[in-house]
Structure formats: structure tokens, C-alpha cells
Amino acid sequence: MAESPAATRERLRVVGRRLPRHDARDKVLARTLYAADWQMPGMLEGAVLRSPYPAARITRIDTSRAAACPGVAAVLTARDVPHNILWTDVPGQTSVVGPLRARVQVLADDQVRYQGEAVALVAAETREIADRALELIDVAYEAQPGVFTTEDALRPDAPRVHEEGNVLATWRVRCGDADTALARAHAVVEQTYRCGLIDHAYLEPEAGVAWIDADGVVVVRASTQVIEHFRDVADVLGLPHNKVRVIGPYVGGGFGGKEDVTVEVFLGLLAYRTGRPVRMVWSRQESLLARPKRHPFTLRYRTGAARDGTLLAHRIELTADAGAYAYLSALVLLYATVTAAGPYRVPHVAVDARAVYTNNPPTSAMRGFGAMQMVLGYESQIDQIARRLGLDPVEVRRRSALRRGDRLPVGQALDTHVAVAEAAERAWAALGPPRAPSSPRHRVGRGLACNLQPYGRLVWLRDWASAWVGLEADGSVVVRCGVPDVGGGQASSLCQIAAEALGVEPDRVTVHIADSALTPLAGTTTATRQLYMSGNAVLVAATQLHDEVRRVAARLLETPVEQVALADGAATAGPERRVLLADVVKECARLGVPRSHLGVYHAPAGDPVDLERGGGRVFPDYTFGAHAVEVEVDVDTGAASVRRHVACHDVGRAINPQSVEGQVQGGAVMGLGYGLMEEIIVDRGVNLTTSFASYLIPSALDVPDVEPIIIESGDGKGPFAARGIGEPPIGPPAAAIANAVEDAVGVRITDLPITPEKIARALGLLSGG
Amino acid sequence: MPAAPFDYEAPATLADALDLLRERGEDARPLAGGQSLVPLLTLRLARPRLVVDLDRLHELRAVRRTPGALEVGALVRHRALERGEGLLALCPLLQEAAALIGNARVRALGTVGGSVAHADPAAELPAVLRALDGAVVLRSARGERVVDAGDFFVGMLTTALAPGELLTAVRLPLPSPGAGFAVEEFSRRAGDFAVVAAVAVVELDGGAVARARVALAGVGPVPARLDRLEAALRGERLESGAIRRAVAERPLEIDPEGDIHASAEYRRHLAAVLTARALERAAEAAGRAIV
């Protein structure tokens, strides 16, 4: 019989505690050695020459002047790269577009496809010399016509970004009969939404150091979410995979921007060529210019509802701008397709989605990964249905909210708790009584938005993670796990899980993370998967260890094993009988009982499903939530500001409530920036926003205190029934704000970001329409 | 990105600084609080051979009262204006305007001279200088000249400063006692440059406007004065809505350009909104001063 959530919470000693992270103090005191802080004797500085054109043919590259510059150790172009292609495998792609098209050239050979594309590399004694050498590389470009909107890219006569054509990927879902249901629906709302191109804007730009170690292994210590990129470095260099090692230091923010390769391959090439350590640190301008960003989408929704507001049907068309290279676009589009109907029971759904190449900056992974863009669509639609039918925003959502056992339009049945209705009710209620506007020219409005976000990777990727847990002779605990810690508390959560399982305090646990040579691989810190995956792997290993140790302790205590408990660094059997964990470990050694275990966790696996036919499980599980906001709009200027923001998510179990709240608040603020101000502006392929003076992210003064409400349903697929919370909180804010703006001033903004100018225009304040 | 290499001098006297600037001409850039120059250096939009740090020139920190005016040394920091330190309290308009400059970190280092000489079209202090019919004091090894604010701002980030010349002070004629003032600005994000800012100074005579002055930032390459509106407001009585009507009646004499933060049309709209707000608040303050 399953234990009640409350009983579990009562029993847990370390899990559920608000613990400061073990890495926090060092970070605050500037002791943490981030990727760019690493120094080595004889270290060179690397730099990248980037294309100023969004579409051009390279007719000639002359590196002789740069190479002759004193202090320059290497100048590399495409001809110097042993294997000049990086591949992204996209298993399960159902359209005719095959997986092999998801590739990117390491350095541009004869063609550049976006402004900022890497053309050449330099390593030099100083950054100054490297920069001078970049200026001395002579590249002759022949500008070519490009395509800069998805509409243009889809025209039959459009210039082709890649030879194969401009449609990169397509997905379709057919569930029920959307057209017939729409024809019969009582209320139909049709609207087109656009969400913009944005940047991850993490504190730490891309950086790393590479060197060749004494055994001839190429070592890359880089800011990354994926230490498994050692394979990419090896493939490009033409080395065996076991001759490249990636070490992942603590990361100053990733959000998907360090999921694809950034500096790793460039560093590997330069270190391998020069035989010397090389450091590369991208500037903020470089980061904003050249690294893949979030997909802009055009979302066309036709939604039908019954008289009582029950959702009946969606017909959805999605077009994503993939930019110049595929990267993870096909997968981002898949997430969008699977979640496009939102966390609601909708019996009739048709989705047609496509990702299109343009000569804009490439787009790829970013927190929310396609699923978050959809929230603007489905939550704006349901709000307009409520408005049309005169229904309360909570009531209309409650009526169609998914529940356990319901199926998503792709056919996946939900087999854990689904907290959509509860989250909506609690978030909305927490706003409390309405507050008066702060001046006569202000209007106040409220908005609600729910969402779902998968945690864990596609089931047909057969995801797994491993971790090693061992006891030292003094009873201290070591965890080794290849998880990169991107600032979400990934490492310290593992300490808490191991401490819980082994009955020790968390400060008795040391965790070694993110070294592809020395820590068992745990997969990527992406897809809201690490607490779920590496947490489960640690729990598997620690539980095995616990069981062994407990058996040996029972022998020492001369007690039946069922009566032995591990707690407070000792094994006890009642108040009188107690033996220190250190002594049990020594006894294990004497008996030859293993004092360490490798734990492997396999996520639910399955074959690729045919989405169109409603094939079944796509993701292991989903996290559900709702945000409620109160905004105030200045009716003279159109400026909207968020005064209250309540964010409610079911996390199954909060391993560290402080970290969970941090994720929720950080995600909400990031979503708020997406909703109100963030926008990479690209004019015919040229990025106009390559500094934080032009690319606006909210400052502390632009956001309210986000009030988190954490639901612990006690049901989820992670350790101790946890669900992932890394990505989910970024989803709802933009739609909640759009809904609140309509509530305040009666205009519906359908394009992100919701700028003062757009509201002013919608209010008719600007003469020119 | 780090700045391109440059030589650095920190002269101890104004005379030495002026000599350096004369000798090195276009190669040299003076450094005051660094809030404009340092970003230009690190973005490599400026690549001077020599940076002349003015920080030791204590004579440029002085604030003096002259008949009817305040002379504020170029190295007086925004924070001192914001707090109305010493004689600066005589011109509370400076307090209101300075509080809107950047953020606390910028205000702690940024200087009056730096902001005015940099001449960002969206900056507050150039607009204040224009609204008060102020002037700047320019020194070079050859001597001193005083240039009216209206002539000093020539274009976007461009002023009448000649090579080798240093802005040493700004002169601010003090509004008559009883004058009301207000600064209204709109920015996309807290602490950013204004998209548009309006500075208004209103003097009343028996409930009617004796003189109204409005300067706008962010609506063109240099801060704009709204002469026609000012003339139209003269003699206007301040019953409710009069100012708003006066602003709405005629197109503002500005020709803003659009950029990534706001279209020309939206800037024009903001200019009208902020002009009306600033004038109304300034007139109210003037009205209170009479009572």
C-alpha cells in the first residue's frame, strides 16, 4: 500500500529540508573557478573570426598575414578541420526530412548562412594579439540574397538556405475530427500569435580551456550543460572517443544555451594544433550575436468550445524559424507539437507544425524547449473563450483540466497526479482582493495561465543516467556523477538524496560531478531531467549500498536486519543497540562486502510513436502548474507592469524547497522578461541587439516578488516522487500577462513582447494606425 | 571585451591636463566618471591612444553661486546633485533630474561634465541645461570660452568642444523663486536611458503663465526646446485641462526618428504625454509656491 504524502514527509530526514547549497558560499565569495577563471602555464588565448554577412559565398581566405603576426600560434580555417561537420541525431523524425540534415559546419567552408557564423580561429599569446590577428585575416565574401522570414523562406522561388530546401522538419497530430467539431462548436475563437527571438542571457558567457594531458588525452574544461560533447570534439578531431575528456565546472547559467557545442570543439582544435593550453572566452556581444537562440513561432489557433466553456477542438498551425542551421529545431518543434493543446482535455485536435530555415541566427534549445512558446497560444485562446462566454477564468480551465488517466492528443495516458485545476485555483486565490490602481491614469487587470512541460527526454531516446555512491572508511560518503551543475542545485540535490538514503547529514557527503573521464555519465543537464534522472541513479546506488551496509550492521548488532535503521551516521536497532557507520564500513571491508555501487536508472522507454495516429507515450511524465498575475497599465503610455505574480507548480516532492522556490522564481522572472521586453531584433539577418543596452532583460526593479506556491502531491517519477521543475515555471508568465492586459484595458496583444508601444497602438493612441 | 590598449595619465593640475589634451589632440580622451567612456572603450567604439584621467583635478569639483546662477564643476557627481549637497540645493530641479539618471552605481561615479560633454540625446542633464537656458564653460590651453547650451549640442554625441578643449563647468541660471519645475521620463526598463524625457519650468504671474519652458530628450539628435508651445502657453490661465489642450492643439515642433526601442510615431506620442505631464506638474508646483 502506498504511503500517504504526509506520512512520507514525516519519515524523511534530509529530503524536504531547506538547505543552503554547499556551493553557494564559494560562489558568493568568488572562490568558485568558473570556466573562464582557469589558468595554466603557457596558456594561449583563442578567438573566433565571424562572418559579417548573413548570406554570402566565401571566395577566398588569406590567413598569411595573421599567421605571420608575432605571438600568433595558430590560425585555422575550414580546411584545417579534420572533420568539419557536427551532427545532431534526431531519432524518430517522422517527416521525409531525415535525421542527417541536422548538421552544422564547424567553420564555414565556402558558404556563410548567418551573421556571426564562425569562419576562422586564432590562438595567440595574448587576447590582444589574437584580436589583431583576426583583423589580419583577409576574407573575400560575395554577398548573396538571403531569406529572413519564414513566409519568404516558404515561397517556391525563395533562395535556398541549404541545398535540400528550406523546410527542415514537419510534425502532424490528428486526434478526433477537429474540423467537424469546430463546425459544431458553440463558440469558436481564431487568432494568430507570434512569439519572438530571445537570448538565454546568462551571467556567464561561453568559455573554456583545453589542453593535452600527459597521456595524450585532449581535455576540455568548459562551461557546458553536456559533458558528452567529448564525442563531438573527438569526431571533429578524428580521435577515438576515449581520447577526449570534458570537465564541466560550475556553470553560470545555461538555460539550453550551453546544450549545443559552444567553445568545446574550437578549443579542442586549437589545443590539438598548438599542443598548448588554450583559453577561449566569448564576449557578451559575441554571445548575443552568434549563439543559437529561442525559436520564434507563428501560432495559428482555431479553438472551439461548448456553451459551458468545455473545450471541444483545436486546429493549430505552427511555424518555427529555425535560423540557418538545424541544431535541435526538429526536437523543439516536436515538444511544441505534443503540448500545443495545453494541459486540457480536448477531444479533437489537429496540429500541423513545421520548422523552416532562414538566414537568421540559428535557434535551438532554450528553457521550455518549444513547449513554452505554446502557452501563449492555448492560454490566450481559453481566456478569450471565457470572455466570450462570460465565464470565470478559473472555472473555464477547471472544466477541461487534464486529470490522471486522461490522454494527450498524441495518445499518451497520464499515469501520475495532474494538478492543473488545483494549481489554477490556488494561484488565482492567492492574488487576494483586487487592489486599487496607483493613479487615475492606471488600470489594473488580472490574468491566469496554466501549462504543462515534459520532464525527462523522449521515451524513444531510451534515456538513462548513472551514478556511483561509496562509503569511505570513516563513514563519509562520496557521490560521483557526471551531472553538470548549471546553477540549479543539481549537485547539492544529489548530496541530499544520498544523505537521506544512507542516514547521514548532507555535510558528510562529497559529490564529484561532470567529468567525462572520472564520473559515471548521467546525460545532459537539459530537458528538466537531472533531478529526475541522476537523482534516481544516486538513489538506486545509495539504496543498494544502504541494503548491504544494513545487513552487515545487523550482524554486528546481532539483530534481525528489519530492526536496523541507518540514521545520524550510525546503524541502530532500538535505543540501546548502536554501531557507528565507520565501524560498519570497516566490517564490510573485512568481510569483502562492496562499499560502493554504481547505480543506473533507466527512464520509461518506448519505440518512436506515430504522433499522427495517436501512438502513445512520448515523454516519461509532465510537470503541471499555473501562474496568476496582476498588471497595471498606464493608459497614456501603454506601459504594463506586473504588480503581483503567483507561481504554483506541483513538484511531486520538494527535495530542497529553497532550490525549488529559486527555480520557480527564476523561471517566472525569465518568463516575465519574455512577455514584456526581451527581443533579439534582426534586420535582414543583421542582429541589432548585441549588447545589454539594446537587448533588454528585466532588472530587479522591473519585477515584483514572485510568490511561489509549491504543491507536493507525492506523485512523480523522480527520487522520492519528485517531478522536474527546471523548465516549467518559464512557461505561463507571458500568456498570463497578455490575459491580464486584456482584463485591464480591453485589448488583446498577440505578439511578444508586449511592449508599451504595442499596447499604445492597440489602444488607438498612435495616430498612424 | 577588454579595451584596446591605451596610455594613461592622471595630471595633478588643470593646466597639465589642458597641455596634455593640446599636445595629443584627437588621440586623447578625457576621463571623468567613466560611465560613458568606459563602455565605449570596452566595446572598442572608442580607441584613444591616451586617456587623461581628470580625477585629481579637485578644482573641477567646485560649486559656485554667481548672481542669478549656479556654476557646477564638471567633476561634480550625479549623486551629489541627487542629494542636493551644499549649494546644489539651490536648484532642486537638479535633484529631480539626477535621480532619474541610470542607476545608483552610475550616479555614484558619473559626473555632470561627463554627461553633458558626451551629449547622449536621451540624457537628462543636457535637457535640464537647455530648459534653464544654461551654458557650458570650455577651457583649453589657449583660454576659456562660454557657450550657450543651445549652441553647444551640435548633433548626436557631438558638441562644440574643439580638440584640446575641456568642459570644466556648467552654468545654470536659477529659475525665479516661486517657479515650478518637473521632470517626466519614460524608459523601457528601470535605470535605462529615457526613451523620451521632458523637463518643464513654469513661472506664474497671478494665476497665469508668465513663462513656461520645456526641453525634451530622446526626440532628436540634440535636446529640443518647444518654443512655439512655450509662446502659446504665455498668459494661459491654469484651469483644469488647459495645458493638456495647449499641448494637444498643435503638433510638437520635433522630428524624432525611430529606433529599436520606439518608433518615431511612438516617440512623438510619448513626447506629447510627457510634455503635458511635466508642464502640469510644474504649473501645480508654481501654483503652490504662490499660495
A563 touches chain B (CB under 8 A): no
CB contact under 8 A, B265 and A768: yes
- Residues B234-265 as b or e (16 or more Cβ within 10 Å = b): eebebeeebbbebbeeeebebebeeeebbbeb
> Chain A residue with minimal CA distance to B103?
A701
A124: its cell numbers: 595567440
Q: Yes or no: say if B55 and B10 are a contact pair by the CB < 8 Å rule.
A: yes
A567 touches chain B (CB under 8 A): no
Residue A216 CA to residue A229 CA, distance in Å, equals 18
Q: Are residues A672 and A757 in the same domain?
A: yes
Strand partners, A111: A57
Residue A6 has pLDDT above 80, yes or no: no
**Does A173 reside within a domain?**
no
Q: Are residues A310 and A348 in the same domain?
A: yes
A205 touches chain B (CB under 8 A): no
- More reliable by pLDDT, A7 or A769: A7
Q: Yes or no: say if A475 and A588 are a contact pair by the CB < 8 Å rule.
A: no
Residue A549 has pLDDT above 90, yes or no: yes
Q: Are residues A304 and A429 in the same domain?
A: yes
**Does A195 reside within a domain?**
no
Return the H-helix or E-strand segment holding A119.
strand A118-124
Radius of gyration, CA atoms only, chain A = 27
B199: its cell numbers: 523637463
- Quick one: average pLDDT of A278-304? 97
Nearest neighbour of B189 by CB, restricted to A128, A699, A757: A699
Q: Are residues A614 and A570 in the same domain?
A: no
> Chain A residue with minimal CA distance to B258?
A757
A766 touches chain B (CB under 8 A): yes
Q: Yes or no: say if A487 and A663 are a contact pair by the CB < 8 Å rule.
A: no
CB contact under 8 A, A698 and B263: no
CB contact under 8 A, B265 and A699: no
Nearest to A36 by CA among A207, A220, A243: A207
Nearest neighbour of B260 by CB, restricted to A283, A694, A760: A694
CB contact under 8 A, A699 and B263: no
Residue A94 has pLDDT above 60, yes or no: no
* pLDDT, tens digit, 9 for 90 and up, residues A171-225: 999 999 999 999 999 999 999 999 999 999 999 999 999 999 999 999 999 999 9
Q: Yes or no: say if A619 and A412 are a contact pair by the CB < 8 Å rule.
A: yes
Q: Are residues A517 and A560 in the same domain?
A: yes
In the 8-state DSSP scheme, what is residue A407? B
Residue A645 CA to residue A733 CA, distance in Å, equals 8
Torsion angles phi and psi, residue A508, rounded to 5:
-90, 0
**Does A291 reside within a domain?**
no
* pLDDT, tens digit, 9 for 90 and up, residues B122-146: 999 999 999 999 999 999 999 999 9
Q: Yes or no: say if A711 and A648 are a contact pair by the CB < 8 Å rule.
A: yes
Q: Are residues A392 and A517 in the same domain?
A: no
Q: Which chain B residues are Cβ-neighbours of A699 within 8 angstroms?
A: 103, 189-191
**Does A157 reside within a domain?**
no
Maximum Cα–Cα distance across chain A: 89
Q: Yes or no: say if A477 and A471 are a contact pair by the CB < 8 Å rule.
A: yes
Q: C-alpha angle A408/A411/A416, rounded to 5°?
A: 60
Q: Are residues A453 and A473 in the same domain?
A: no
Which pLDDT score, from 0 to 100, does residue B242 have? 87
Confidence of residue B291 (pLDDT cuts 50, 70, 90): low
Domains for chain B: give ranges and CATH numbers: 7-52 (3.30.43.10), 61-173 (3.30.465.10), 180-290 (3.30.390.50)
* pLDDT, tens digit, 9 for 90 and up, residues B263-274: 999 999 999 999
- Quick one: average pLDDT of B220-236? 95
> Chain B residue with minimal CA distance to A673?
B189
Look at residues A254, A281, A308 and tell me which one is the last residue of a structural domain.
A281
Edge to edge, the sheet with strand B143-148 lists B63-66, B69-73, B166-173, B135-140, B143-148
What is the ipTM for the molecules in this complex? 0.96
Which pLDDT score, from 0 to 100, does residue A92 have? 45
Nearest neighbour of A636 by CB, restricted to B190, B191, B273: B273
Other beta carbons within 10 angstroms of residue B228's beta carbon come to 12
Residue B265 CA to residue B256 CA, distance in Å, equals 8
CB contact under 8 A, A637 and B191: no
**Does A272 reside within a domain?**
yes
Nearest to A205 by CA among A192, A223, A227: A223
CB neighbour list of residue A155: distance below 8 Å, 6 or more residues apart? none
CATH number at A98 reads: 3.90.1170.50
Nearest neighbour of A757 by CB, restricted to B4, B190, B262: B262
Q: Yes or no: say if A482 and A521 are a contact pair by the CB < 8 Å rule.
A: yes
Residue A103 has pLDDT above 90, yes or no: no
Which pLDDT score, from 0 to 100, does residue A612 have? 84
Confidence of residue A89 (pLDDT cuts 50, 70, 90): low
Nearest neighbour of A637 by CB, restricted to B2, B189, B270: B270
Radius of gyration, CA atoms only, chain B = 19
Q: Yes or no: say if A616 and A606 are a contact pair by the CB < 8 Å rule.
A: yes
Residue A559 CA to residue A538 CA, distance in Å, equals 28
Q: Which chain A residues are Cβ-neighbours of B261 within 8 angstroms?
A: 694
> Chain B residue with minimal CA distance to A129?
B4
Which pLDDT score, from 0 to 100, does residue A66 have? 98
Q: Which chain B residues are Cβ-neighbours of A767 within 8 angstroms?
A: 265, 269
Q: Are residues A417 and A489 in the same domain?
A: no
A422: its cell numbers: 488545483
State whether residue A46 is helix, strand or coil: strand
* DSSP codes joined into one string, A450-507: EEEEEES--GGG--EEEEEEEE-TTS-EEEEE-----SSSHHHHHHHHHHHHHT--GG
CB neighbour list of residue A438: distance below 8 Å, 6 or more residues apart? A632
Residue A222 CA to residue A292 CA, distance in Å, equals 17
**Placement of cell 580521435 in the chain:** A239
Residue A159 CA to residue A303 CA, distance in Å, equals 35
- Quick one: average pLDDT of A657-667? 97
Strand partners, B63: B72
Q: C-alpha angle B162/B167/B168, rounded to 5°?
A: 145
Q: Which chain B residues are Cβ-neighbours of A755 within 8 angstroms?
A: 188
Q: Are residues A527 and A469 in the same domain?
A: yes
* DSSP codes joined into one string, A131-196: HHHHHH-EEEEEE-----SHHHHTSTTSPPSSTT-SEEEEEEEEES-HHHHHHH-SEEEEEEEEE-
How close is the nearest chain A Cα to the Cα of B129, in Å? 25
Residue A104 has pLDDT above 90, yes or no: no
Confidence of residue A99 (pLDDT cuts 50, 70, 90): very low
Provide, rounded to the nearest whole percent, the portion of chain A with pLDDT above 70: 97
Whole-number average pLDDT of chain A: 95
How close is the nearest chain B Cα to the Cα of A698, in Å? 7
Candidates A282, A286, A637, partner chain B, best to mutate (most B CBs within 10 A): A637
Candidates B189, B240, B277, partner chain A, best to mutate (most A CBs within 10 A): B189
How close is the nearest chain A Cα to the Cα of B57, in Å? 31
CB contact under 8 A, A128 and B1: no
A308 touches chain B (CB under 8 A): no
Look at residues A235, A255, A281 and tell me which one is the last residue of a structural domain.
A281
How close is the nearest chain B Cα to the Cα of A263, in Å? 16
CB contact under 8 A, A767 and B265: yes
- Tell me the one-letter amino acid at B178: G
Q: Which chain B residues are Cβ-neighbours of A691 within 8 angstroms?
A: 43
Q: Are residues A454 and A586 in the same domain?
A: no
Residue B43 has pLDDT above 90, yes or no: no
* pLDDT, tens digit, 9 for 90 and up, residues A493-511: 999 999 999 999 999 999 9
> Chain B residue with minimal CA distance to A761?
B266
- Quick one: average pLDDT of A716-743? 98
Q: Which chain A residues are Cβ-neighbours of B273 within 8 angstroms?
A: 636-637
Q: Which chain A residues are Cβ-neighbours of B265 within 8 angstroms?
A: 766-768
Which pLDDT score, from 0 to 100, does residue A101 have? 52
The rounded Cα B11 to chain-centroid distance in angstroms is 27
Q: Are residues A583 and A643 in the same domain?
A: no
Beta strands of A308-401 (E only): which ranges? 311-323, 348-357
Residue B100 has pLDDT above 70, yes or no: yes
Confidence of residue A1 (pLDDT cuts 50, 70, 90): very low
Domain encompassing residue A121: 35-144+206-281
Candidates A134, A679, A757, A766, partner chain B, best to mutate (most B CBs within 10 A): A757
> In total, how many domains does chain A have?
3
Nearest to A450 by CA among A413, A395, A404: A395
Residue A391 has pLDDT above 90, yes or no: yes
CB contact under 8 A, A702 and B260: no
CB contact under 8 A, A760 and B192: no
Which pLDDT score, from 0 to 100, does residue A434 have? 86
CB neighbour list of residue A109: distance below 8 Å, 6 or more residues apart? A58, A78, A79, A84
**Does A191 reside within a domain?**
no
Nearest neighbour of B260 by CB, restricted to A128, A283, A688: A688
* pLDDT, tens digit, 9 for 90 and up, residues B241-262: 888 899 999 899 999 999 999 9
- Quick one: average pLDDT of A625-644? 98
How close is the nearest chain B Cα to the Cα of A758, in Å? 10
Look at residues A602, A636, A669 and tell me which one is the last residue of a structural domain.
A602
Residue A323 has pLDDT above 90, yes or no: yes
Which pLDDT score, from 0 to 100, does residue A96 have? 41
Nearest neighbour of B189 by CB, restricted to A637, A677, A689: A677
Sign, Cα dihedral of B122, B126, B131, B133: negative
**What are B's interface residues with A at a Cβ cutoff of 8 A?**
1-2, 4-5, 39, 43, 103, 186, 188-193, 260-263, 265-266, 269-270, 273, 277
A71 touches chain B (CB under 8 A): no
Residue A91 has pLDDT above 60, yes or no: no
Residue B42 has pLDDT above 60, yes or no: yes
Sign, Cα dihedral of B141, B142, B148, B149: negative
Q: Distance of CA A672 to CAs A267, A454, A696, B223, Å? A: 35, 21, 12, 33
CB contact under 8 A, B190 and A702: yes
Residue A322 has pLDDT above 90, yes or no: yes
CATH number at A471 reads: 3.30.365.10
Residue A36 CA to residue A582 CA, distance in Å, equals 39
Minimum mean pLDDT range among A65-79, A401-415, A458-472, B276-290: B276-290
Residue B78 CA to residue B87 CA, distance in Å, equals 14
Which pLDDT score, from 0 to 100, does residue A411 have? 94
CB contact under 8 A, B265 and A688: no
Minimum mean pLDDT range among A84-93, A185-194, B184-193, B248-257: A84-93
**Does A177 reside within a domain?**
no
**Does A210 reside within a domain?**
yes
Nearest neighbour of A766 by CB, restricted to B1, B4, B269: B269
Confidence of residue A97 (pLDDT cuts 50, 70, 90): very low
Nearest to A655 by CA among A504, A499, A546: A499
Q: Are residues A665 and A696 in the same domain?
A: yes
> Chain B residue with minimal CA distance to A679?
B260
Candidates B187, B193, B244, B265, partner chain A, best to mutate (most A CBs within 10 A): B265
